[in-house]
Structure 1
């Protein structure tokens, strides 16, 4: 087991150094491919071995691991402070300096430095390791050909790929370290590593807008780091230990503990880009597509929801738990509303990500076995579908030069393979019997026994999310070119796309058995019984296999019906009989002039205008967070 932990955490760091110092493209390609393969096998091996109790980590080159992490903490904070100084950001400097002061006080005057088992592997950790190692590796593999074309587009004289893959791989190791940590100081260290990696990757292209958004991401997450340190100090004051397992076993024993947990939740909110912190993740769109995919699916934002989920058992049944649920549900609703007015593909996916993370955090706040099951299901399937969609948008953007969904209209005619994979990815986000909708159904059932406001926000948010995703899928499905041929793609582009697409479908089909073997043991009180390919509870039944059979029959019928497409005569649009004699789709307008026919989506810009709604949502979210923190005091 210890060897697997080393591979999952330290191998990406070693591979990152190889990518940075060995400038050969062939070596970099081989290193990324080998690292991805080893991480995948190691994650599967750890899953096969099963959960493990908190375990100690030995010394490294004769240096105690706890001491090494402490030193690296201060070094990393020093580096972050330097970048704050370099970019003249008083917020970064202030938040980082506050962390240094508080951490120094904590390390030298509060902590007894008792031996704490550093690593722990429960079902939550193992599932997170699978998501990080497999999905993250596929994104890194996709980045190999993508970044080559990206740099050709930018006309760079000197490649920045060594630096790029250095931080991509470090990110994966840091995330594995975070989700496996049993020492809260270790968790904080890896938490900060993800902050720094995201800053460097968002600013990778070194343009003015990239730097601006990277700095914003750094100061917001530095605020989260400060909240983490404060929460850690308050929790230690009450619990007297850094052992996360022991802290969870104590439960809600005192108001001071609850206050510390509230600050840890706030740290998770910033990392998960919850409203009002969503602007840093929206700004991350300027980064190359593999960065967006990594941030949204398997690393950065998942670190935020993991922190909230990890400590959720300690605040179950409290006002803090209700506050977390309401904040998460509000983010889900707000981002669904903001997404309706968007036509930028990446921005739609960004709002969808923040909203779904809000749904996961809401489930952590509801804090029942059913809600926690929904949270894990959503983490797993959202990571797969969202990484697939981001990679699809990147592929489309490099093909047509735009990420606007209006420019993707009729994409099937020119890029049928990418269009179909994108449509499948969207459908796995909004339709049964796929995993994301299964998680949403569980969340809705769990919320039925919760706050009525939570129920209403989840229902409204779900409806609006379907609107903007279904609208996008519909735009790509039509084509005026019969018999479209699949476009050529590099193998390392096609492999991740096909793997993630297949994974989203196959794992959804296997979701009842995934629940039975991986989730039910962690939840303890199993809210579902697995029937014939279905999940049954006291509230209702979600049929999986029967729906897949119906879906398969429908697909066969559609393919057969479409086989006669080439024999169909393509007609111009019917415009109430006012078609122009030119026959090119124009219609006769005022003064008998020809008016070109055009189609477009309805975005309801007046109702869902981002500049108008964002300040309102931010103000309401701040008020909810203040109430959450105030209730925990």
Structure 2
């Protein structure tokens, strides 16, 4: 057990330092590849061992708790340094506030003689470790050829890759430590490491806009750090424990101080998960290289936020805090689904989609029933795989065509046939049954059926989601008549993660009934759903996974048959009322001054209804009101 924990938590720290110190690109690539493979194997081995509790012994005569305390203050001093470096008052204030709170908590309140198990893993933790170690490792491997081309495009004289891979790989260890921590102080330490790593990675390119957005990410997440420290102080002052499992075992909280502490911890999770009104830092993170975006959105950082809320959810079940969490999450899900409709930038669509889906997971944590927790876990798994895939696809496309605008992706199949098909597959796994994201949404709506406001927001948000995904997929399927696709060349280390994630998004959906039976159902005393013949059924309906896959397979075979028949057809340009340009086969028509005008197709983005300028201010005000209501209700 200790060896697996060393590999999963400490190895990425060591490997990150090796990436920084060993400047030879070939050696660095081997370190990243080796670390990714070892993490993947270790995460599977840890899953096979099952739930556990573990506390490491002292090192050099000093307890690990003392070392973490020292590391906490050292990290906050580093963050404070960057607050002075960028002359940001909020970073300075939030760093000092955290240090003051930790001094009071650590030096005057906490009984350090009381034993608190350091690590604890249940099915939720083990599933998170699998996602972090496998999906995160694939993203790091993809980054090897991507960053080479990225730096060639920027014409850098000195490579920044050593520092880049230091923080990219370090992220994986911090996240594994976070989801395995049972001591709240350890959880906080890893929580803050993810804050610092994201700051360094967002500002990696060193441009003015990159630095601006990295600073915004740092102060927003530092605000969450202040809330986390405040939450720990309220919890310890009321329950006199830092043991998360002991806290959860005591049942749903009734003491005011404990509820306030849990509300602040949830607020910290909101900031990390970029929930409204904190979405700005994650939208700004799109300036970072694509592997950073993929890592932040899929398996790390934002997942830390939803994990924290989901981990503490049983402690506030049935309270006003739970209602507030459900309303905040549901509102973010709906509002960001609406905001995504007005976007044509592929990365921004993915960003709003991520924030929206994280809101759905947080809503499930607030609903706080076995059915809702099942939905949340399914959404975490399938969103991680599909969203990582889509971000890597957008990065691949952008490097080839020089744009991330979906309007520029029309006819992509002719230029990048493999990537086009993989991207379409990724979109469909976010959009259609029988894939896992829609399964999770169905479960969430089932679980929210007795909460009117929440279920309405979830249903409306799900409907809006269809608009932007279907529009993007339709643009990719557009194929200029008469053109034949050009074989696509792609680096092996880019192709391998794309194909693995693509197959994973489909294969895991096919395995979802078995995943539920063997991974999720044992977590609950009573089964929230039943599985019969590959059909998941609940009190309000059923989701026929295997029958739908059969229909999907038959439909795919029919589509391939139609495509095969269409290859011999003669292309006819769109008819323009007799004004077509003679001899042209692209649909050009005779326009003003008898000049040819090319026919172009475009999507509606409805900015008058869903534009950021129109909705963002209102959405942020409403979200702030809901958060104040949640914390105020706890008081």
Deviation at 1:463, TM superposition (A): 1.0
What's the CA shift string for 1:534-586, capped at 9, x where partnerless? 11222211111111111111111111211133311111113344433353412
What's the CA shift string for 1:333-370, capped at 9, x where partnerless? 11011100000000000000000000000000001110
For 1:192, the equivalent position in structure 2 comes to: 192
SS, match of residue 607 in structure 2: coil
SS, match of residue 120 in structure 1: strand
SS, match of residue 602 in structure 1: coil
Summarize the alignment of residues 468-487 of structure 1 with structure 2, pairs less than 5 Å apart. 468-480=468-480, 481-487=482-488
Deviation at 1:238, TM superposition (A): 1.2
Structure 2: tracts of 5 or more residues without a match? none
What's the CA shift string for 1:63-105, capped at 9, x where partnerless? 2100000000000000000001000000000001000001111
Deviation at 1:453, TM superposition (A): 1.4
Deviation at 1:595, TM superposition (A): 3.0
| Maintained 8 Å contact 1:372/1:523 | no
| Maintained 8 Å contact 2:574/2:587 | yes
Deviation at 1:482, TM superposition (A): 4.1
Is 1:312 equivalent to 2:322 in the alignment?
no
What's the CA shift string for 1:442-461, capped at 9, x where partnerless? 011111122x1111111111
| Maintained 8 Å contact 1:12/1:170 | yes
**CA–CA separation in structure 1 for the residues paired with 2:576 and 2:610:** 29
**CA–CA separation in structure 1 for the residues paired with 2:369 and 2:54:** 28
SS, match of residue 235 in structure 1: helix
**CA–CA separation in structure 2 for the residues paired with 1:489 and 1:360:** 35
**CA–CA separation in structure 1 for the residues paired with 2:525 and 2:132:** 24
For 1:436, the equivalent position in structure 2 comes to: 437
Summarize the alignment of residues 568-579 of structure 1 with structure 2, pairs less than 5 Å apart. 568-579=569-580
What's the CA shift string for 1:176-215, capped at 9, x where partnerless? 0000000000000000000000000000000000000000
For 1:88, the equivalent position in structure 2 comes to: 87
**CA–CA separation in structure 2 for the residues paired with 1:252 and 1:84:** 37
For 1:235, the equivalent position in structure 2 comes to: 235
SS, match of residue 563 in structure 1: helix
| Maintained 8 Å contact 2:446/2:538 | no
**CA–CA separation in structure 1 for the residues paired with 2:185 and 2:487:** 51
| Maintained 8 Å contact 1:331/1:358 | yes
Deviation at 1:62, TM superposition (A): 3.4
Summarize the alignment of residues 9-158 of structure 1 with structure 2, pairs less than 5 Å apart. 9-52=9-52, 54-113=53-112, 114-158=114-158
**CA–CA separation in structure 1 for the residues paired with 2:282 and 2:525:** 34
Q: Which moved more, 1:476-485 or 1:224-233?
A: 476-485
Is 1:404 equivalent to 2:387 in the alignment?
no
Structure 1: tracts of 5 or more residues without a match? none
What's the CA shift string for 1:289-334, capped at 9, x where partnerless? 0000000000000000000000000011111101100000000011
SS, match of residue 609 in structure 2: coil
Summarize the alignment of residues 164-179 of structure 1 with structure 2, pairs less than 5 Å apart. 164-179=164-179
Summarize the alignment of residues 277-292 of structure 1 with structure 2, pairs less than 5 Å apart. 277-292=278-293
**CA–CA separation in structure 1 for the residues paired with 2:230 and 2:578:** 70
| Maintained 8 Å contact 1:482/1:566 | no
Q: Structure 1 residues 551, 104: closer, same or farther in 2, change over 3 A?
A: same
SS, match of residue 567 in structure 2: helix
Deviation at 1:592, TM superposition (A): 5.6
Summarize the alignment of residues 432-471 of structure 1 with structure 2, pairs less than 5 Å apart. 432-450=433-451, 452-471=452-471
For 2:556, the equivalent position in structure 1 comes to: 555
SS, match of residue 62 in structure 2: coil
Deviation at 1:486, TM superposition (A): 3.3
For 1:255, the equivalent position in structure 2 comes to: 256
For 2:536, the equivalent position in structure 1 comes to: 535
**CA–CA separation in structure 1 for the residues paired with 2:460 and 2:575:** 35
Q: Pick from 608, 611, 616: which aligns with 1:609?
A: 611
SS, match of residue 417 in structure 1: helix
**CA–CA separation in structure 1 for the residues paired with 2:346 and 2:59:** 45
**CA–CA separation in structure 2 for the residues paired with 1:596 and 1:359:** 43
Deviation at 1:18, TM superposition (A): 0.6
Q: Structure 1 residues 521, 577: closer, same or farther in 2, change over 3 A?
A: farther
**CA–CA separation in structure 2 for the residues paired with 1:135 and 1:614:** 32
Summarize the alignment of residues 516-531 of structure 1 with structure 2, pairs less than 5 Å apart. 516-531=517-532
**CA–CA separation in structure 2 for the residues paired with 1:63 and 1:16:** 25
What's the CA shift string for 1:358-417, capped at 9, x where partnerless? 000000000111011000000000000000000000000000000000000110011010
**CA–CA separation in structure 2 for the residues paired with 1:330 and 1:8:** 35
| Maintained 8 Å contact 2:40/2:134 | yes
**CA–CA separation in structure 2 for the residues paired with 1:477 and 1:224:** 42
| Maintained 8 Å contact 1:91/1:219 | yes
Superposition misfits of 4+ residues, deviation over 4 angstroms: 589-593
Question: What is the TM-score when the length of structure 2 is the normalising length?
Answer: 0.98
SS, match of residue 343 in structure 2: coil
Q: Which moved more, 1:488-497 or 1:454-463?
A: 454-463
Deviation at 1:596, TM superposition (A): 2.4
| Maintained 8 Å contact 1:483/1:566 | no
**CA–CA separation in structure 2 for the residues paired with 1:194 and 1:372:** 24
For 2:416, the equivalent position in structure 1 comes to: 415
State how many pairs are aligned: 631
What's the CA shift string for 1:416-435, capped at 9, x where partnerless? 10000000000000100000
SS, match of residue 439 in structure 1: helix
**CA–CA separation in structure 1 for the residues paired with 2:535 and 2:2:** 37
Deviation at 1:611, TM superposition (A): 1.6
**CA–CA separation in structure 2 for the residues paired with 1:24 and 1:573:** 55
Question: What is the TM-score when the length of structure 1 is the normalising length?
Answer: 0.98
Q: Which moved more, 1:348-357 or 1:553-562?
A: 553-562
Deviation at 1:590, TM superposition (A): 5.4
